[in-house]
Amino acid sequence: MKNSIILLFLYFTFSSILVQAALSSDFKDQSSFNEVWQVVQDTTQNSLIDDSERSIKNSYSKNHFPTYEINFSRFFSVTKSGIHDKLSAATFRTLHDHRDYYPRIDKLLHSNGICFSGTWNITHSTEYSGLFANNTAIPLIARASTTLSGVRRGEKRGAALALKLFPTTTNDTATLTQNIFAIDMLAGRHIRHFTDVSMTNEPDFGLSLNLPLGLHVLKSFLKADQNPGFRPIDHLAQFDAQGRQEFLVRSPKWIKFEPHYSNKTSDHADFREELFESASDQPLRYDILVKSAKADFNDKKSWQRVGYILLSQPTISYGCDRQLHFPHPRINP
C-alpha cells in the first residue's frame, strides 16, 4: 500500500505539472540513431561524470548492474536556500528540452531499465497520417522499465515502454525524434513475465478499494477536467518517415503495444535479465494497435491492428539508465 500511495502521489504531481507547463518552446535538438545508440552502448567518452558517478557506470556489466531504490528522498534535496523539488525541475526539463541524451540524468520515476534497438513498422492502410501511414518503416530505440522499485517477480511491477522514433530511412541522419510512452498499470501488479501484458498511453492506475482516502487527497493536485493518465500521440501523425511535416494531420487518440505470441519467454526473476535473454536469440515483437477518439477506450473490439515494433540488441547500461532522455510530448489544450 505504501508503494502505491508514493507512486500515485508522484504520478498525479508529475502529470499536473505537465498540464500546467505545456508551454511552447523553440529549443529543438536533432540526433541520429547511430549517435544515440552509441550513448546507450556506453561507447562515448564522457568527461563530465564525477568520480561517484563513474563508479556507478563501472558497476554495469552483462551479469551485474545496480538496482535503484525509488523513495521520497530522491525527489527533494536540501540546500542553503531551502528544499529543492527535483521532480518539478525534471518535469519542466522534459517538456522544454528535446535533447535525446545528457552527460548524466537521474530518472526519478523509471530508474531501472533495459534498452533495445529496433524498428517501427506500419503494415496496414489507415486513415491516419505521418508515422501511422502504411509502409512506414523507421528505426527506433526503446527502453523497457518498471514503475517504482519493483523489478523482480513477486514484487508489484508496472511494465512500461518508452520509444524514441527516428523519422529517417538512414541510421546516420540527424532528425528530430518522436517519443512515445506506454504503461500497463501505474501502481503495478504481480506478473510472471514482462511480456505477459500490453501497454497503452492511458494506463490503469491499479487502485485497490482500500485507498479511497488516499485517492481523494491525491486528486487535489489535479486541476479542472485534465486527464493526468493520458499520454498524447498526435505528434506522431505530424511528421512522415522522412521527417517532413504533414499538412493534413489525422491521428488516433490511443495506442496499445500488445506482445506477440512468438516472443520467447525467460524465467529470470529480474525483468531486465528476463528481457535480455528473451531478445538475445530473436527480436521481441509487440503489435501496434490504435483507436480513434470516436471509439470507446474500454471496447476491446474497436482496437485496430496497424503494424508492429521489433526490439533487438538488448542492452543494460549506464547510458540506458542515466543518460538517455525521452522528451515528453506536450499536452494540447
- 326: nearest Cα among 56, 110, 48, 42: 110
> Quick one: pLDDT at residue 213?
32
Q: Would you state the pLDDT for residue 109? A: 74
User: Reduced to 3 states, what is the DSSP secondary structure of residue 178?
Assistant: strand
- Per the CB < 8 A criterion, the answer to whether 3 and 150 are in contact is yes
What is the residue whose three cell numbers read 499520454? 231
Whether residue 250 contacts residue 127, with contact meaning beta carbons closer than 8 Å, is answered with yes
Q: How open is the CA angle 29-30-33, to the nearest 5 degrees?
A: 140
- CA–CA separation, 175 and 33 (whole Å): 9
Region of 278 on the Ramachandran plot (φ > 0 left; ψ -120 to 50 alpha; else beta)? alpha
For the chain, which residues make up each domain, given as ranges?
A: 2-322
- Output the pLDDT for position 216: 32
Sort 157 into a burial class: Cβ within 10 Å, 0-12 / 13-18 / 19+: buried
Alpha-carbon distance 32 to 155, whole Å? Answer: 37
Distance of CA 8 to the CA centre of its chain: 17
Per DSSP, the residues of 195-255 read GGS-EESS-B----TT-HHHHHHHHTT--TT--TT----GGGGSB-TTSPBPSS----SEE
| Contact call for residues 185 and 156 (beta carbons, < 8 A) | no
Helix, strand, coil percentages (3-state) for the chain, rounded to 5, are 25, 25, 50
Per-residue pLDDT of the chain (333 residues; tens, 9 = 90+): 555 545 554 544 444 444 343 333 334 589 999 999 999 998 776 655 677 777 788 788 656 788 887 666 666 666 667 665 656 665 666 666 789 998 888 776 778 999 999 999 999 999 999 999 999 999 999 999 998 778 999 998 989 999 999 999 899 999 999 999 999 987 788 999 999 999 999 988 765 433 443 343 343 334 333 555 778 999 999 999 999 999 999 999 999 999 999 999 999 999 999 999 999 989 999 999 999 999 998 888 999 999 999 999 999 999 999 899 998 776 665
How high is the pLDDT of residue 88?
62
Strands annotated E in 51-148 = 76-79, 82-85, 113-122, 137-146
The span from the CA of 145 to the CA of 160, in Å, is 5
H-helix or E-strand spanning residue 19:
helix 2-20
Amino acid 290: pLDDT: 97
Q: What is the pTM of this model?
A: 0.84
**Residue 80, Cβ neighbours under 10 Å: how many?**
4
